[in-house]
Amino acid sequence: MKKKKRVKYIFVAGGVMSGVGKGIAASSIAKILQSRGFSVTAMKIDPYVNVDAGTMNPVEHGEVFVLGDGMETDQDLGNYERFLNRDLSKANYMTTGSIYLSVISRERNLEYGGKCVSVVPEIPMAVIEKIKYAAKHDKADFVVVEIGGTVGEYQNILFLEAYRILKFHHPEDVLFVLVSYLPLQKDGELKSKPTQYAVHSVNSAGIQPDFILARAAVAIDKKRKEKIAFNCSVREQDVISAPDVASIYEVPVNFEKDGLGDLILEKCKLPQRKHDLSDWKALVAKIRRANDIVKIGIVGKYFTAGEFVLADAYISVIEAVRQSAYEQGKKPEIAWLNAEDFEKDKAKLKELDVFQGIIVPGGFGSRGIEGKINVIEYCRTHKIPYLGLCYGMQLAVVEFSRHVAGMAGANTTEVNPKTKFPVIDIMPEQKKNIAEKNYGATMRLGNYKAVLKPGTIAASAYQKRVVVERHRHRYEVNPDFVSKLEKKGLIFSGISPDRRLMEIAELPADKHPFFVGTQSHPELLSRPLHPHPLFRAFIAEAIKARKSK
Task: Please check the confidence at residue 307 and state whether its pLDDT lies above 70.
Answer: no
Same domain for 315 and 225: no
Which pLDDT score is estimated for 364? 79
Q: Is residue 500 part of a domain?
A: yes
Which pairs with CB-CB distance under 8 Å and at least 24 residues apart come from 362-367?
A: 362/389, 362/390, 362/391, 362/392, 362/472, 362/473, 362/521, 363/300, 363/301, 363/302, 363/390, 363/391, 364/391, 364/414, 365/414, 365/415, 366/414, 366/415, 367/301, 367/339, 367/340
Of 128-132, 176-180, 282-286, 545-549, which range is least confident?
545-549
Q: Are the beta carbons of 503 and 469 closer than 8 angstroms?
A: yes
Task: Please check the confidence at residue 427 and state whether its pLDDT lies above 80.
Answer: no
Q: Is residue 5 part of a domain?
A: no
Point out the domain boundary residue: 283, 311, 332: 283
Same domain for 298 and 228: no
Task: Please check the confidence at residue 440 and state whether its pLDDT lies above 70.
Answer: no
Residue 214 vs residues 233, 238, 440: alpha-carbon distances, Å: 15, 10, 38
Task: Please check the confidence at residue 437 and state whether its pLDDT lies above 80.
Answer: no
Point out the domain boundary residue: 283, 303, 319: 283
Which pLDDT score is estimated for 438? 59
Same domain for 54 and 136: yes
Q: Is residue 338 part of a domain?
A: yes
- The DSSP code for 156 is G
How does residue 72 score in pLDDT terms, banded at 50, 70 and 90? very high
Same domain for 305 and 278: no
Cα atoms found within 13 Å of the Cα of residue 117, Cβ hemisphere only:
19
Domain range for 507 is: 290-548
Same domain for 299 and 269: no
Rounded average pLDDT over 21-30: 96
Same domain for 512 and 471: yes
CATH number of the structural domain spanning residue 47: 3.40.50.300
Angle between helices 369-381 and 391-403 (to 10 degrees): 70
Q: Is residue 480 part of a domain?
A: yes
Same domain for 437 and 310: yes
* Phi, psi (rounded to 5 degrees) for 383: 55, 40
Q: Is residue 28 part of a domain?
A: yes
Rounded average pLDDT over 166-179: 97
**pTM for this one?**
0.93
Residue 275 vs residues 11, 33, 145, 261, 536: alpha-carbon distances, Å: 22, 8, 22, 9, 30
521 is catalytic: yes
Which pLDDT score is estimated for 124? 97
Q: Are the beta carbons of 416 and 426 closer than 8 angstroms?
A: no
Closest CA to 124 of 177, 45, 184: 45
Rounded average pLDDT over 87-102: 97
* Phi, psi (rounded to 5 degrees) for 510: -80, -5
Q: Is residue 2 part of a domain?
A: no
Task: Please check the confidence at residue 434 and state whether its pLDDT lies above 70.
Answer: no
Catalytic residue among 377, 506, 523, 541: 523
Catalytic residue among 232, 268, 379, 390: 390
Which pLDDT score is estimated for 18? 84
Same domain for 76 and 143: yes
Same domain for 199 and 59: yes
Rounded average pLDDT over 430-450: 73
Q: Is residue 228 part of a domain?
A: yes
370 is catalytic: no
How many domains does the chain contain in total?
2
Q: Is residue 485 part of a domain?
A: yes
Which pLDDT score is estimated for 546? 63
Report the alpha-carbon distance of residue 538 to residue 323 in Å, rounded.
12
Q: Rounded to 10 degrees, what is the CA torsion of 81, 84, 85, 87?
A: -50
Which pLDDT score is estimated for 428? 73
Q: Are the beta carbons of 253 and 277 closer than 8 angstroms?
A: yes
Same domain for 319 and 260: no
How does residue 58 score in pLDDT terms, banded at 50, 70 and 90? confident
Task: Please check the confidence at residue 306 and state whether its pLDDT lies above 60.
Answer: no
CATH number of the structural domain spanning residue 505: 3.40.50.880
Same domain for 317 and 200: no
Residue 242 vs residues 221, 279, 374: alpha-carbon distances, Å: 11, 21, 44
Task: Please check the confidence at residue 319 and state whether its pLDDT lies above 90.
Answer: yes
Which pLDDT score is estimated for 137? 97
Same domain for 195 and 332: no
**Mean pLDDT, the chain, as a whole number?**
92
Catalytic residue among 61, 471, 521, 532: 521
Report the alpha-carbon distance of residue 237 to residue 239 in Å, rounded.
5
Q: pLDDT tens for residues 197-252? A: 999 999 999 999 999 999 999 999 999 999 999 999 999 999 999 999 989 999 99
Q: pLDDT tens for residues 352-389? A: 999 999 999 988 777 889 999 999 999 999 999 999 99
- The DSSP code for 411 is E
Point out the domain boundary residue: 283, 311, 327: 283
